[in-house]
Amino acid sequence: MKKYGLVLLSVVLLLGLLSACGGNGKNNNDAAKANKENANNTPSAEVAAESKDPVELEMSVWGSDAQVALYDELAEEYNKLHPNVTVKTTVIPWADYQQKLAIMAATKTSPDIVWISERMIPQFMNGGQLLDISSVKEDAAYAFDDIIPSTLTAFEKDGKLYGIPFSTPPQVVFYNKNLFEANGLKSPMQLYEEGNWTYDEMVKASEAISKPQEGVYGVKFIQNSSNWSDNLIPLIWAMGGEIFNEDTTQFAMNTPETAKAINLFKGLLDKKAHPSIGEQLTFDTGKLGMAFENVTRTSAYRDKVDFEWDIAPLPEGDHGVKMPIGFGGYSIFKDAEYPEEALEYLKFISNKENAAKVAEFFVPQRESVLYSDEYLNKFPFPTVETMKVAAYDRLAEGIIRPSHPNWVKIDEQVTLNLDAILLGSTTTEQALKIMEDSINPLLK
């Protein structure tokens, strides 16, 4: 838009100069006609004023085919408004995403715009590799104030902004109503409404539902220990534990509170109320009483599940509930060849209109979209009230999971020692001490 502004100013000055040099009535009429035509065709007017130099932008994602198709449609729409700008969407598998992005950034071959998760932001933001996009706050048409503030914290540093979220799904509990009813149990939502939805009640229900000889289990937190952070962090928080100290300079998991949380999880495994680590059992099979997952899974289960189910908020622990929110955002690499054009495209795909389109797959970051009748009533189930109680009304208090520039190495150490705990080759307390000794040097 900066280029557009300069070109437009030049046009205005040129017209003024021609007029001052004795322009006649015909010239004035022609100019008025041109202005009227432009006013009736704003996109074309913008295009005409912009540079005609071809611009090719690349955007990397880890999404599904349907999600990529949506971004391809947005790119085509943008291209109609800006014929000289084309956007290519590149898919990088999630498992390789952060490492590949790091290599591309180091070799200055990174895409212009990237999807980025909360785990990746510290590495690239602290490394000075992301573009400061604070200027979006001053664009009245962009309506920056519409974005829920808690979803922006991961992208803020020293008063500057380095990205815009597109998905901030809170975590909820999916539960199989048939299994709860078959065992004469109150459902998680019923317990929540009574004020009794706690981790102790969750454990009782899990043990009551489980019939491992039939392949039925009460609850599932994690698929394997390598994704421990997805669901063990909220349990650790609920018991009063933390991952790091406040300024992320000390490892903080070596505490009785964290040990209690891990031992609760291990107890579920030992009693076979939780599937074995690595077992590929998913909620839609109907053999799990509960599954702790992001609320975005509702879109998948609506079409696949043939039993009665619902969602509930996370249970309370000794220290209440801290709601973790997942995170996906857009950032621009500082070495992008066309940073101004990349920023305009970022604003386009995250404006109100297109945030509503992206909300087909993700929990929107804009309040006007999240609480719109169109979004809340898009699906009949789970009900609007349940979705608000279990998820959306908690977004303002949501906390993005902690991370660190050395997260990959930290994650490896936690996973290694968590495996040792779960295999019974060491005690929880011994493993937490080993984690502390090995991870603290990574925080210096």
Lowest-pLDDT range of 199-208, 267-276, 362-371: 362-371
Supply the pLDDT for residue 375.
85
User: Tokens 């010239």 belong to which residue?
Assistant: 27
Residues 6+ apart with CB under 8 A from 66: 361
- What is the tens place of the pLDDT at every residue in 245-302? 988 999 999 999 999 999 999 999 999 999 998 888 999 999 999 999 888 888 778 7
> Quick check: 226 pLDDT over 80?
no
In angstroms, rounded to a whole number, what is the distance separating the alpha carbons of residues 260 and 192? 23
Evaluate whether 417 touches 226 at the Cβ level (below 8 Å): no
4-13, 50-59, 301-310, 368-377: the lowest-pLDDT one: 4-13
Q: Domain limits of the chain? A: 55-169+326-399, 171-322+404-442
Residue 20, pLDDT > 80, answer no
- Strands of the sheet with 55-61, listed across from one edge: 85-91, 55-61, 113-117, 328-332, 164-167
* Cis before 382? omega within 30: yes
- What is the percent of the chain where pLDDT is above 90? 59
309, 388 in Cβ contact below 8 A?
A: no
CATH fold of 55-169+326-399 reads D-Maltodextrin-Binding Protein; domain 2 (3.40.190)
Check if 55-169+326-399 and 171-322+404-442 are the same fold.
yes
Output 51-54 pairs: Cβ under 8 A, ≥24 positions apart: 51/3, 51/7, 51/84, 52/84, 53/84, 54/84, 54/86
220: enclosing H helix or E strand: strand 217-220
Tokens of 298: 């509702």
pLDDT at 33 over 90: no
CATH code matching the domain that covers 171-322+404-442, chosen among 3.30.465.10, 3.40.190.10, 3.30.750.24, 1.10.8.60: 3.40.190.10
Instruction: Give the pTM.
Output: 0.73
Mean pLDDT on 145-171: 90
